[in-house]
Chains A and B, each alone.
Chain A
Amino acid sequence: MSQKMTRRRLLLGGAATAAVAMVKSSFGKMVQTGIPEAAMDPTRQVGPLPGVLGTRSPFEHPQRKASLTSSQTPLQDLYGIITPSDLHFERHHAGVPAIDPNTYELTIHGMVDRPTVFSLADLKRFPAVSRICFIECSGNFRKPDKETITPQDICGLTSQSEWTGVMLSTIFREVGVDPKATWFLAEGSDAAVMTRSIPVSKGWDDAMIVYAQNGEAIRPQQGYPARLLLPGWEGNTSIKWLRRIELSDGPFMTREETSKYTEPIKDGKIRQFSFTMDARSIITYPAYPVQLQKGWVEIRGIAWSGRGKITGVEISTNAGKSWQAARLQEPVMDKAHTCFRYLWQWDGDTTEIMSRAIDETGYIQPSLKELITARGIGTGYHLNPVTAWLIKRGGEVVYRPEKWK
């Protein structure tokens, strides 16, 4: 309860007036005006009647953290595996375009038998498919430079939705993709006219063109009215506001697959087309800024891999000296955030807790040191290190800063 409320409670001896009133509308219906500031005795007053749109409880304020180029999902405030659509992370290069669904068109051409223009209604007529998967930005990493950062700050550029649309393979068959086509260009209709080259094999495998997210039309920030969805691949490749697909026999070498979204690795090399998101996990509770109490603690978090299912998550409560298996919450899905939990008794001593994800290829989430050793200190993108939370004697939980070397 806020300080203000406490004072009001004192002043009014508990019979606080809530800032809610039921008034009769011109149609004689009771409608709610204002929202309750704090619960009075809810059994002594009729609450608001059904409305046309639901709302969050006025006591809940999950928020993304926005910068000029992105906004991060508050992972520490979420339960389960679905990111509420208004909390899905955002990353775009020139703002969110306003697109009229009635004039929207997707053109597919290049190495195809039948170059075709599809309206949104056309796309919706095709056999529909729904799937749950994460989308993660390959820049989803923050250098471990200070203690006071949250899971949202560290890796809030990953979110998960149920996406509905048409398989790209269905569209490929519809237009008759030339068997000699090896790449396709996907282009968005934002002011960056975002483009990426994608191997055609991904299009035949599990790529989709989606128009719905969590049961409703996709949000503008996520690509309304239709976007590409490449499960498990770096978010930038799932082109939003999709307007054009061009089949080709080679990559186009766009700016976002050369100047950006490439990473220096050992021996001066520059790695390109690193599409797949490596397995990762994060403990979302307890994490900064939680104040922990001695006794039983359920350690909670999410794990995911762009290469398939999560097969295990291991927890260390002694700074990485030993590891125990966490429980995975069903459903455990391909290329999807998976919840894990681990019951632990904190004895009040200073310690570090951490999690590491294992996926079905046998890949084990590495430490930052292992990543830097393998790639060099000048690397960037696709950094997925184990994250440690330092629990101090008084129960203060902070991020454990790490040297970038």
Chain B
Amino acid sequence: MPYWACVAGIAMISCERRVNTAPTHFGYGRPATKQEIAAKAIAIRPDGKGLPAGSGTVQHGAVIYAGKCASCHGVTGTEGPFNVLVAPDTADAVPFDRAPQRIKAIGNYWPYATTVFDYVRRAMPFNAPGSLSDNEVYSLTAYLLYANKLIDSSTVMNAKTLPGVIMPARKYYVTDNRNGGDGPYE
């Protein structure tokens, strides 16, 4: 097939064979079964998609927190030695860009409540990640949201209620829109 024929788009199929174009599908790998996907897909979306069955309370969360979390995050979530989990102020206090020392925590910085569930279940406690049951994670999430003054002490956390928790820091979030060029360097 002469080159001009390819350019003109004549007899495309034989052109492709000649240049040995990669197939769109190699057939490598094996199909993932529904069950194995369900077991692996642990990420929670902000709309609550992915949240498991079960529920938890602030009271139960406080007990688990004292036993499994307080040693690293402090008795009230503010003492450390690791990350402060309970914000010392509200999302609408002094703007962060003017307050370099201001502590960022769930109550004043996190834009979505679902992130607490997702993160605690996948990564905490740091010394035994993946060891908590879904109900324990719901309870810890309830306790942390309560300690950050985002829900009251009687609100039960489950797949329905958690995505509905209002996070006051969310309104401050903007998506990066810089594209290089000649500044400004925001």
Contact = CB atoms under 8 A, between A and B. Distances in A.
Interface in A141-184: 170, 173-174, 176
A127 B24 CA distance: 12
B180 A377 contact: no
Contact of A114 (B31, B46, B98, B110): B31
Interface stretch (A49-57, A201-209, A258-266, A313-321): A258-266
Contact of A270 (B30, B115, B174): B174
| B-side interface mostly | loop
Nearest to A112: B32
A107 B40 contact: yes
Interface in B145-186: 169, 172-176, 178-186
Interface in A99-139: 107-110, 114-119, 122, 125-127
A374 B96 contact: no
A293 interface: no
Nearest to B109: A259
Contacts of A126: 26, 28
A364 B24 CA distance: 41
A195 interface: yes
B26 A362 contact: no
Contacts, number: 194
B17 interface: no
Contact of A258 (B111, B123, B185): B111
B72 to A, nearest CB: 13
A307 B44 CA distance: 31
A72 to B, nearest CB: 22
B181 to A, nearest CB: 5
A191 interface: yes
A111 to B, nearest CB: 12
A127 B115 CA distance: 37
Contacts of B96: 264, 268, 270, 376, 378
B114 interface: yes
Contact of B97 (A125, A193, A251, A268): A268
A244 interface: yes
A378 B111 contact: no
20 contacts: A109-B37, A118-B28, A185-B43, A243-B40, A246-B43, A250-B45, A250-B46, A251-B46, A253-B112, A254-B115, A255-B118, A258-B109, A265-B174, A266-B97, A270-B109, A271-B175, A272-B174, A376-B95, A377-B100, A378-B97
Interface of B: 22, 24-26, 28-32, 36-37, 40-47, 95-100, 102, 104, 106, 109-112, 114-115, 118-119, 122-123, 126, 129-130, 169, 172-176, 178-186
Interface of A: 93-94, 107-110, 114-119, 122, 125-127, 170, 173-174, 176, 185, 187, 191-193, 195, 243-244, 246, 248, 250-255, 258-259, 262, 264-276, 278-279, 305, 307-308, 359, 361-364, 366, 370-371, 374-379, 404
